Structure 1
Amino acid sequence: MPIYYGGDYNPEQWPSDVWSEDVCLMREAGVNLATVGVFSWARIQPDEGVYDYAWLDQVIDLLHESGIAVDLATGTASPPPWLTTKYPGVLTENADGVVRWPGSRQHYAPTSPDYRRLASDLVRTTVERYKDHPAVVLWHINNELGCHVAYDYSDQAAAAFRTWLARRYGDVDALNDAWGTMFWSQRYTDFAQVLPPRHAPYSVNPGQVLDFKRFSSDMLLELLRMEKQIIRTAGATQPLTTNMMSAFKPTDYWSWADEVDVIADDTYPDPRDPHSYADGAFARDLMRSLKPGRPWILMEQAPNYVNWRENNAAKAPGQMAAMSMQAVARGADGVLFFQWRQSAAGAEKYHSAMLPHGGPSTRTFREIVALGASLASLGSLPPSSRAEVAIVLDWDSWWALDQPNHPAPLDYIAQVRAWHAAFLAAGIQTDFVRSSGPFDDYRLIVAPSLHLISDATALLAFTGALLTTAFTDIVDEHDRFRPGGFTRQLGPLLGATVTDFAGVLPGEATVHGPGLHFEGTVLAEVLHLDGATALASFADGTPAFTRNGSCYHLATIPDEPGIRAVTTFLIDELGLTPALPNLPRHVEVCRRGPMTTVINHNPTPVQVGDDILDPYGYRITGLS
């Protein structure tokens, strides 16, 4: 199957006499897939029970006649004004009880019965009309679920939260035990007394906050499942997707991955940031890892500049193609953009598009045409193979650490990104894995600050090399300390037990060892060794980096040079082979089956082996 190429198409923003020009220029650009209907609810349904599909019939037929397939959205992302006027209860509230009013988008409560009923009606009617249309090859559920409103603190959300808690714990005594509610006289005698973690005088119960984040992710997931069931019940057989947003904190994408047929991602790295290629690679590798062995789609990226940064830089010539090829190299079978034609009005009118206001003569459109031709020349691509190294990304640990009252503020996702970037710079490809595994085929698992560990963690059965970092295995799945202290699960595996820890400032946790010298940051642990060997120590001689068989532990959070140093150490220790050694700075290499892609993300030419890559140039080898 050739690579999908195209983007969001919003014909409802334009008079019908523009549509033929759009399709003609799409064909010139090599577009073969258009995402239609994402924000069309108000156009499709001008009032409750009233539908107008005539314009959409015309658009889909026009695309189909021109050989352009359709990723048809369900349109549920932005309720129309008539709906919120008639049913104001669909609106959400923030933690202060302030209503989030219409006038933007995503102004609906995932738990609202009225929203769910009316959204279901829209989805059902749309699917029944187009399920057999030959142009429709993909169903697009909602849009960026949770992007702007991930947490709702309204009374209807509170009622749904109580129901969720009752299912999870069974009775209120189990809830009290999990949350430790004897602290500060918080003990509940009935689920009816429980509220979302609204604005309170001081710190809110951390177990309550953690469960509210789990609940909120699950409510958005329920919307995905609701629409999926409607699509399948209606008899539609096309694959379905929803556009994710890289590692988006409010939504646990591990639990979402099994609900969609195709993983899709929206990613907008800052073209001005020289490290943006690492951000892009991180997002691509996560999407590939959510459904191992299956291709995914880059659903949205900017053809040039965006509109929502304080200062919106243009992409340099070639940079858009480099970022697109990065996605293909890391498993994507689709490269799409937001959006096809640049909007003439609205909040995103300054966001670039494949077809800018300047028309086909612009550099942006010329690069779009060139990229379309390049992608078409690749033909059908092989699936991605599993990497040798995997990094654990755990939303529960992220949510628990993203709260106050820890020894020091610990940026969980920054640490995960830093380890990924270190292996990327070394030419070692990495996957991501959930904390429950599976881990079987990996030679090395890196688990940065895996704070929460369940009683049945699969890491205990892993036989390869394991690296953990400070603040791992500190609490159970309820964010409570286990009897006996810390590292009660992984201690025997690590050959060491954490007995204490404290926050550190710059210069307070210097680490020394043979071939290793770096600064520890954020916090430092006190370790009791029970079989492990110290590979490096803090200035006072206490262990800072240990090994027990094939298990390694860092008793601090290394700075960036430290992460690179430990990465190099592990590559040498385990005999890992870079896809291409001695990579220049900001050059990446990635293997996809027999295909190897090398991309220069520098604004200047770079020599890689015997080749010189132009600024933002790339080289693909291994395809027949």
Structure 2
Amino acid sequence: MKNVINETTIQLGVCYYPEHWPEKLWEDDFRRMKEMGFQYVRMAEFAWTIFEPIEGTFEFDLFDRAIQLAKKYDLKVIMGTPTATPPAWLTDKYPEVLNVSREGVRYHHGSRRHYNYNSEIYRTLSKRIVTEMVEHYKDNPTVVGWQIDNEINCEMNVFYSEADHTNFRNWVKEKYQTLDNVNEAWGTIFWNQTYTEWRQIYLTRPTVNDSYNPHQLLDEKRFISDSAISFVQMQADIIRSITDKQWVTTNGMFGHLDNHRMTKEALDFYAYDSYPNFNKIIEDNSFMPLRDRKWSLNLSTVRSFGGNFAIFEQQAGPGGWVNRIEQPTPRPGQLRLWTYQSIAHGADLVLYFRWRTATKGSEIYWHGINDYHNLPNRRISELKQTSEEMQKLGSAIFDSKYVADAAILTDYENEWDGEEDKWFGQFIGESKEAWFKAFQYHHIPVDIVNVTQNMALETLIKYKVLVYPHAAILTEKTANLLKGYVEQGGTIIFGARTGYKDLTGQTYMKAFPGYIKDLVGITVEEYTLLNGWQKNPYVNLFDNQLNTHGFNEVLQPEADNVEVIGTYQNAHYEGKPALTRRKVSEGTAYYYGGVFDYQTAALILEDVEISDYRSKFTLTPDIELAVREKDGEIVYILLNYSQEAQTIYLKVDMENLLDHDITSGDVTMAAYDVLVLKEK
């Protein structure tokens, strides 16, 4: 990303919508942005009608004036292509561009993201507006990059317009070539769903019992992802055909979208929108809750798309629409903390959303840096301090790499298949979060790694520990890859419901856990979904009695060197294996026949061999440790998520890069405080 954005230090900026405000405010706004140390302004992603008020008539005066003022204050502008909100004239004249529900109900104009990716007329009109905008701004040195659309697949990530049905039919035909192949992949012999003509194939439609072919649904999600990527690629190709001086990205992270492939094939880097204060996170009352720290998991996922990234919307105040998403006002220090949270996980460019809180529309309670009255406030002071600290840090952590010896494995196939399959899908998120908590609270940095069918062993062997919780879909090729990883000295941890499905979502006629059976050295004797009809069994792990939930698999050791390190209690499978460990060449493979929670993950983590940083620090659970490396130099970022001061202990001399003091021993971090340290 360093060479793409042409910077050498971490930069801050803000989202601004000149079309929302009287022009007499613009210059003062830009002047104050510059005074806060901001370098970037993002604009125009919802302004199609401003650029094309009448079909085929293009006007650029408003944004030309805004960009000229931004230039006066040496601000760099990121332009958004406005295709997330087609104009009323467009949807009125071409209603076929609108998205449709599975039930066939057309969504109408009045919100956002109301279009579908496969409408030919929408693609044609999108190409034209993007071409006109890029041609107009290609030689403007103030415009440095383009954001394509806005938050792909946000609001709605399923599409059932006539164009979608038609393109899905073509997609299926291209993928499978013959109807026999389709029928085999979708298992249509069941319930007499066999297709005999291509015209009979549609995306899923309402059924009498709301039950849909699960194998067709998996392909449906793959198709939706391909459609979205195609739409982004179309715009990226236009931009790059016109200019090589402006970079290309898009923002978000939403469902039914292979963000890894989109980033690799269409973007220069990925941009994320980070809002750690979402109410559903703040209300997390689980054991050892993550709350706003959950965003470190999201940011780790974003980092896996393609390395360092940008934040195009960093929370800058309380959030909420007029009818949903209620968030409290961030407490003193939290905006600074969340900025460093993003940077700690790989953001080299952070833009706050937004400059001033909107006075009109659905987001009048989604607050920006400035309140409606435009007067000084606490948030402005806090972000000005943060900006000044970025300047002190200089190039110390820009373009640095996140250092982790552990990774949680994920993949789109299981995520998408699991949306329909309640016998494993709901457990993926539970176990991923449980393991992330365990790594966080043990102060062990962790990556998220996406598993693909063409993954190289080199991607995995840099990690000492891998966790792959509930990979129901697991091919022979992936199993061989994971075996190679363990044989070279790695440790891998599996959970229940692993390895029993192929890429179509159909089950193997093999002993569970399928192709990894020989790696873990066990088979599954029997299994049960825990749904409250019977009391959930306990599991005894390392002499600790813990509750189980979700699912139980009773394990049967098959290899001589399988160690049983956990057993079930209070069930008809009393005393039978629940957790096993097996040495394989230089490595170790664990298999747990259940769904992970924090306690289970923490106990297993304490059993594996992985380096931590206890020789450097004694940290409280409320502190997150992120480790960054650049040119052989290691920088430690400590984040206090508690509203209380935390006392930590530095076991070696450290330089605080924010004030250049040298310190060791007891250090008190204030509520929501941040330390950026380098060992002396």
Q: TM-score range by the shorter chain?
A: over 0.9
Q: Which residue of 2 aligns with 1:615?
A: 671
Residue 146 of structure 1, CA deviation: 0.6
Amino acid at match of 1:611: V
Q: Is the 8 Å Cα contact of residues 7 and 337 (structure 1) preserved in structure 2?
A: yes
Measured in 2, the distance between the counterparts of 1:432 and 1:482 equals 27
Residue 556 of structure 1, CA deviation: 0.5
Q: Which residue of 1 aligns with 2:566?
A: 536
> Which residue of the other structure, out of 393, 405, 414, is the alignment partner of 2:430?
414
Amino acid at match of 2:374: G
- Please show how residues 541-552 of structure 1 align to structure 2 within 5 Å: 541-549=575-583, 550-552=588-590
Residue 439 of structure 1, CA deviation: 1.0
Q: For structure 1, which segment, 174-183 or 57-66, has the greater mean C-alpha deviation from structure 2 after superposition?
A: 57-66
Residue 509 of structure 1, CA deviation: 2.9
SS at match of 2:206: coil
* 1:210 is aligned to 2:224: no
Change (3 A) 1:332 1:302: same
Q: Is the 8 Å Cα contact of residues 304 and 352 (structure 1) preserved in structure 2?
A: yes
SS at match of 1:243: coil
Q: Which residue of 2 aligns with 1:445?
A: 466
Measured in 1, the distance between the counterparts of 2:606 and 2:343 equals 27
Measured in 1, the distance between the counterparts of 2:77 and 2:615 equals 37
> What RMSD, in angstroms, separates the aligned Cα atoms of the two structures?
1.9
SS at match of 2:426: coil
Amino acid at match of 2:494: T
Change (3 A) 1:408 1:552: closer
Q: Which residue of 1 aligns with 2:539?
A: 511
Residue 270 of structure 1, CA deviation: 2.2
> Which residue of the other structure, out of 474, 479, 482, is the alignment partner of 2:505?
479
Q: For structure 1, which segment, 592-601 or 555-564, has the greater mean C-alpha deviation from structure 2 after superposition?
A: 555-564
Q: Is the 8 Å Cα contact of residues 623 and 639 (structure 2) preserved in structure 1?
A: yes
Measured in 2, the distance between the counterparts of 1:386 and 1:394 equals 22
- Please show how residues 120-519 of structure 1 align to structure 2 within 5 Å: 120-202=127-209, 203-245=211-253, 248-258=254-264, 259-270=266-277, 272-273=282-283, 275-292=290-307, 295-308=308-321, 309=324, 311-380=326-395, 381-382=397-398, 383-404=400-421, 406-407=422-423, 410-436=426-452, 437=455, 438-457=459-478, 458-463=481-486, 464-505=490-531, 507-519=535-547
Measured in 2, the distance between the counterparts of 1:260 and 1:534 equals 47
Amino acid at match of 1:565: L
Residue 386 of structure 1, CA deviation: 4.0
Q: Is the 8 Å Cα contact of residues 278 and 421 (structure 1) preserved in structure 2?
A: no
Amino acid at match of 2:315: A
Measured in 2, the distance between the counterparts of 1:221 and 1:328 equals 27
Q: Is the 8 Å Cα contact of residues 408 and 503 (structure 1) preserved in structure 2?
A: no
Q: Is the 8 Å Cα contact of residues 431 and 597 (structure 2) preserved in structure 1?
A: no
5+ long unaligned stretches in structure 1: none
Measured in 2, the distance between the counterparts of 1:196 and 1:321 equals 46
Q: Which residue of 1 aligns with 2:622?
A: 586
Q: Is the 8 Å Cα contact of residues 388 and 444 (structure 1) preserved in structure 2?
A: yes
Change (3 A) 1:508 1:409: farther
Measured in 2, the distance between the counterparts of 1:585 and 1:508 equals 29
Amino acid at match of 1:530: E
Residue 499 of structure 1, CA deviation: 4.1
Measured in 1, the distance between the counterparts of 2:268 and 2:423 equals 42
Measured in 2, the distance between the counterparts of 1:117 and 1:208 equals 29
Q: Which residue of 2 aligns with 1:556?
A: 594
Amino acid at match of 1:433: V
Q: Is the 8 Å Cα contact of residues 304 and 450 (structure 2) preserved in structure 1?
A: no
Measured in 1, the distance between the counterparts of 2:432 and 2:542 equals 25
Change (3 A) 1:574 1:2: closer
Change (3 A) 1:579 1:74: farther
Residue 515 of structure 1, CA deviation: 4.1
Measured in 1, the distance between the counterparts of 2:260 and 2:635 equals 27
Paired-residue identity, %: 29
Measured in 1, the distance between the counterparts of 2:59 and 2:667 equals 57
TM-score by length of 2: 0.88
TM-score by length of 1: 0.95
Change (3 A) 1:148 1:505: closer
Q: For structure 1, which segment, 29-38 or 351-360, has the greater mean C-alpha deviation from structure 2 after superposition?
A: 351-360
Q: Which residue of 1 aligns with 2:83?
A: 76
Change (3 A) 1:144 1:64: same
Amino acid at match of 2:643: P
SS at match of 2:372: coil
Residue 460 of structure 1, CA deviation: 3.4
Measured in 2, the distance between the counterparts of 1:477 and 1:579 equals 44
Measured in 2, the distance between the counterparts of 1:331 and 1:76 equals 28
Measured in 2, the distance between the counterparts of 1:587 and 1:104 equals 40
Residue 500 of structure 1, CA deviation: 3.3
SS at match of 1:558: coil
Measured in 2, the distance between the counterparts of 1:278 and 1:501 equals 34
CA-to-partner distance for each residue in 1:564-608, whole Å, 9 max, x for gaps?
A: 2222222xx345555865532321111111111111111111111
SS at match of 2:515: coil
